[in-house]
Amino acid sequence: MTTDRKVRVAIVGLGFGSEFIPIYQNHPNAEMTAICRRNKAELDRCGDQFDVPVRYTHFDDLLADNTIDAIHINSPIPDHGPQTIKALKAGKHVACTVPMATDKEQIAEIVRLQRETGKTYMMMETVVYSREYLFVKDLYDRGVLGRIQFLRGSHQQDMDGWPNYWPGLPPMWYATHCVSPCLALLSSPGKPALAESVVCHGSGRIREELIPKYNSPFAVETATFKIADSDVVAEVTRSLFDTARQYRESFDATASNVSFEWQQIEGEDPVLHMRGLPESQIPRRVKVPDFAGRLPEGIRQFTGAIHDATHLSFLQGAGHGGSHPHLVHNFLMAVLGQQPAFPDAPTSANWTLVGLCAHESAMKGGERVVIPR
């Protein structure tokens, strides 16, 4: 199905969020209507750069603008839950960067409000639209991998020097980048795979001055979670402070015929392991294709497939594995009723709650925690 209708979009938070402005401006079904940031000087700098005339320094003023259909939230983590709740109550469709929230009550309220209002909610999880994930999902759906036997995700990053809400953050509170591909891979249209319980252990210790900020001592948290109605278990590992490791968002899929392993180091290619071959021939590195062809022509460049000098600063790295234009397109199509949001509110809640419940488990010495449904 196609439509020429347009969604009038406002972006809140213009650090990372500014990368999405030219994508909306080039999408045939979007009007990049307004931007919002507390700092007026930075707000105007961004508005002038991208020629967005409508600008707000107060979120409530933005919500009162009846010309805006949808809000794309890229604010600091503590604002995700409260701003999403306000936006849904104001009758806006909502796209929100991860995590959905860091509070179970706020997550439940978002799911309730989405159902009550009928508005679209989508957590803008990058990994499930990255070219690596799309490649593995395609192999799985075509039967190439065979039966999935085990899934593993890893997200390791040094957050020293990041904004003041990051220091000391429990690693699993920001776990959706490694949780989501494990669950999304086993999902099918109308039937999302959901985690039902989790066991997590904390390891190591961060610097003493960081611990009191969230009362979390762990340098690394590693969790295993059971997937409902499945014999598959997934394992995820997170670290944020005081661990030496190059930035890596990744997942591996161990399967009966062909297994996939994400590249260990940036710039390498991932590996496929082929069952039934001589030992030396089992692994081979593979070039992951670009999936820009799934998108409207105007935004294909933002996967990194085409390097347009006009937007070069936004194409370097192509936004989390080329995911940004796929996220925008899925959100807009969901708002227009052309396809379901993925992940929708209940699925986003489950992906986020895996991490929150995992940290609870780690603080209780590894007790199993049931994930709310």
Query: Per residue in 257-268, pLDDT tens?
Result: 999 999 999 999
Asked if the model's pLDDT at residue 256 lies above 80, the reply is yes
Cα 97 from Cα 81, distance rounded (Å): 11
Residues 152 and 212 in one domain: yes
This prediction has a pTM of 0.94
pLDDT of residue 122: 98
Do both 246 and 361 map to the same domain?
yes
Q: Are residues 106 and 158 in the same domain?
A: no
> Tens digit of pLDDT for each residue in 135-183?
999 999 999 999 999 999 999 999 999 999 999 999 999 999 999 999 9
* Exposure string over 257-295, b if 16+ CB within 10 A, otherwise e: ebbbbbeeeeeeebbbbeeeeeeeeeeeeeebebbbeeb
Host domain of residue 36: 7-125+326-344
Cis peptide upstream of residue 76 (ω within 30 degrees of 0): no
Tell me how crowded residue 356 is: count the other CB atoms within 10 A of its CB.
Answer: 23
For residue 319, give Cα distances in angstroms to 99, 198, 223, 287, 295.
Answer: 17, 30, 27, 18, 15
* Averaged confidence pLDDT in the chain: 95
Mean pLDDT for the stretch of residues 225-253: 97
297 found inside a domain: no
Q: Does the bond joining 283 to the residue before it have cis omega, within 30 degrees of 0? A: no
Tell whether 259 is covered by a domain. Answer: yes
Query: Do 32 and 113 have their domain in common?
Result: yes
> CA 113, 116, 119, 125: dihedral to nearest 10 degrees?
40
CB atoms within 10 A of CB 45: 14
Confidence band, pLDDT 50/70/90 cuts, at residue 318: low
- Say which residue the tokens 């497939």 belong to: 305
Question: Residue 145 corresponds to which amino acid?
Answer: L
Give residue 304's pLDDT band: very low, low, confident or very high (50, 70, 90). confident
Q: Residue 101 domain-assigned?
A: yes
Q: DSSP labels for 182-226?
A: HHHHT-BTTB---EEEEEEEEES---TTTHHHHT---SEEEEEEE
Q: What type of residue sits at position 255?
A: A
Residues 6+ apart with CB under 8 A from 304: 290, 315, 317, 318, 322
Residues 335 and 357 in one domain: no
- Tell me if 319 is assigned to some domain: no
What whole-number distance in Å separates Cα of residue 131 and Cα of residue 124?
15
Residues contacting 245, CB < 8 A, separation 6+: 156, 157, 158, 239
Whether 52 and 115 share a structural domain: yes
pLDDT for res 317: 39
198 with 136, same domain? yes
Same domain as 121, residue 234:
no
**Count of other CB atoms within 10 angstroms of residue 365:** 9
Q: Residue for token digits 């089992």?
A: 282
Could you give the number of structural domains in the chain? 2
> What CATH number is attached to the domain comprising 239?
3.30.360.10
